[in-house]
């Protein structure tokens, strides 16, 4: 961390904080004063951040979120308040007491060098020293997927995943690891060929249309533009007593003919940060609908264990790593569905590495662990 100067009621950092700030549908890197840390707050240095599909939706202005600095998936470094010894954490971005307070959505997120944490969030969960640093931003989306699996009322024998982004891929990888017959559905054949070539899947079936057989559960991992049509397909594909997890794609007030009388946004809000237990599933006829916001500590800890135990399955999910300066160009391009400027022509998970300088790109590093990063706190 930068040096600090004590003032009454606050610790004021003396350095600067580079932040990726959105301007309309574009982004610029701004040099800001390092944030003041007041009583009850902690300063965190952002070491890795993941680009989520919701970041891209906000960037292209199909979501109304207020944050000007996006990002909610991260590995951060903090200093112990007593000893000063640095430690590392991953984040739950949703405030368990106020679902409308979300890191990188309602207030500025992790696409910056430094972040202030307080009692309202984001929630910190210690990152294990053996966790690969470049896989740490997968902890939060993988925890989200595990939350969805937890909400299914029974272990499915067949599951279908609608989507081709990182969350959809993680949901399918988990299905395969659980021994469930898994289908991943995306309309573009080129995308499916790319995913197949990454080496993440063994038994997962990749399809451009519905699975063709009844499934016990479905994940909808899609942006708002694509979710309604996919929900129609998902409900039609469900077998008796099947459940659809609305991972994304629907907000408060959204309704759909396949779920008559159901506010799909409220279905997602019924389960937040691991509560209640058991979770809420709303049924209409033979179909069940569930969803969730945020994660609980148990999900984040299980996600870390999976990443530690199966790096060969999750490592290929990370396809690109860019600096903040490079992200100023890459993020708007990805939001506009253009190819990355370096690395593979298709992407799954793009990382922003705020420790890199200049307009830089690098290959994912699947060897350096959190414990090997050292500390500058």
Q: CATH code at 364?
A: 3.90.180.10
Residues 195 and 271 in one domain: yes
Q: Residues 169-223: pLDDT tens digits?
A: 999 999 999 999 999 999 999 999 999 999 999 999 999 999 999 999 999 999 9
CB 36 within 8 A of CB 114: no
Q: Residues 47-77: pLDDT tens digits?
A: 999 999 999 999 998 888 899 999 999 999 9
Question: Could you give the 3-state DSSP secondary structure of residue 333?
Answer: helix
Give the CATH number, domain containing residue 259.
Answer: 3.40.50.720
Residue 297 belongs to some domain of the structure: no
Cβ within 8 Å of residue 200, ≥6 positions away: 169, 172, 173, 313, 314, 316, 317
* Residues with pLDDT less than 50, the chain: 1-13
Domain count, the chain: 2
Q: Determine the number of helices (DSSP H) and then strands (DSSP E) in the chain.
A: 9, 22
**Last residue within a domain, chosen from 225, 256, 291:** 291
For residue 265, count CB atoms less than 10 angstroms from its CB and return exposed for 0-12, middle for 13-18, buried for 19 or more. middle
Residues 66 and 18 in one domain: yes
**What pTM, to 2 d.p., does this model score?**
0.94
Residues 145 and 129 in one domain: no
Residues 159 and 256 in one domain: yes
Residues 204 and 133 in one domain: no
Residues 9 and 51 in one domain: yes
pLDDT at 350: 98
Residues 276 and 320 in one domain: no
Full domain range(s) for residue 363: 4-137+316-372
Residues 46 and 152 in one domain: no
Question: Could you give the 3-state DSSP secondary structure of residue 298?
Answer: helix
pLDDT at 8: 32
Residue 122 belongs to some domain of the structure: yes
Residues 213 and 324 in one domain: no
Residue 296 belongs to some domain of the structure: no
Residues 14 and 132 in one domain: yes
Residues 94 and 225 in one domain: no
Give the DSSP H or E segment for 313. Answer: helix 311-314
Residues 150 and 122 in one domain: no
The radius of gyration of the chain from alpha carbons, rounded to an integer in Å, stands at 20
């Amino acid at each position: 961390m930068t040096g600090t100067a004590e003032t009454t009621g606050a610790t004021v950092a003396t350095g600067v904080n580079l932040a990726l700030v959105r301007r309309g549908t574009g982004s610029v890197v701004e040099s800001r004063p390092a944030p003041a840390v007041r009583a009850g707050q902690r300063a965190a240095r952002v070491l890795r951040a993941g680009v989520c599909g919701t970041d891209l939706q906000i960037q292209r202005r199909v979501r109304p979120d207020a944050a000007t600095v996006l990002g909610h998936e991260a590995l951060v470094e903090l200093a112990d308040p007593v000893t000063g010894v640095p430690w590392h954490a991953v984040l739950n971005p949703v405030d368990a007491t106020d679902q409308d307070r979300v890191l990188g959505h309602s207030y500025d997120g992790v696409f910056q060098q430094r972040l202030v944490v307080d009692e309202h969030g984001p929630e910190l969960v210690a990152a294990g020293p053996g966790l690969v640093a470049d896989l740490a931003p997968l902890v939060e989306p993988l925890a989200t997927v595990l939350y969805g699996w937890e909400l299914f009322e029974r272990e499915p024998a067949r599951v279908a995943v609608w989507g081709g982004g990182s969350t959809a891929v993680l949901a399918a990888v988990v299905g395969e690891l659980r021994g469930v017959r898994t289908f991943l559905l995306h309309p573009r054949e080129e995308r499916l060929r790319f995913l197949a070539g990454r080496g993440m899947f063994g038994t997962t079936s990749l399809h451009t249309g519905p699975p063709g057989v009844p499934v016990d559960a479905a994940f909808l991992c899609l942006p708002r533009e694509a979710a309604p049509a996919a929900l129609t397909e998902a409900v039609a594909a469900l077998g008796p007593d099947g459940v659809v997890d609305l991972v994304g794609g629907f907000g408060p007030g959204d309704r759909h003919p396949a779920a008559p009388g159901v506010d799909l946004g409220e279905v997602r809000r019924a389960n937040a940060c691991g509560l209640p237990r058991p979770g809420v599933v709303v049924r209409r006829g033979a179909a069940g609908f569930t969803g969730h916001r945020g994660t609980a500590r148990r999900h984040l800890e299980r996600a870390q264990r999976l990443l530690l135990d199966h790096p060969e399955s999750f490592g290929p999910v990370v396809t690109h790593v860019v600096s903040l300066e490079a992200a100023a160009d890459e993020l708007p391009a990805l939001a506009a569905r253009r190819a990355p400027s370096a690395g593979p022509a298709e992407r799954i998970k793009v990382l922003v590495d705020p420790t890199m300088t200049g307009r830089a790109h690098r290959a994912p590093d699947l060897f350096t662990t959190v414990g090997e990063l050292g500390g500058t706190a």
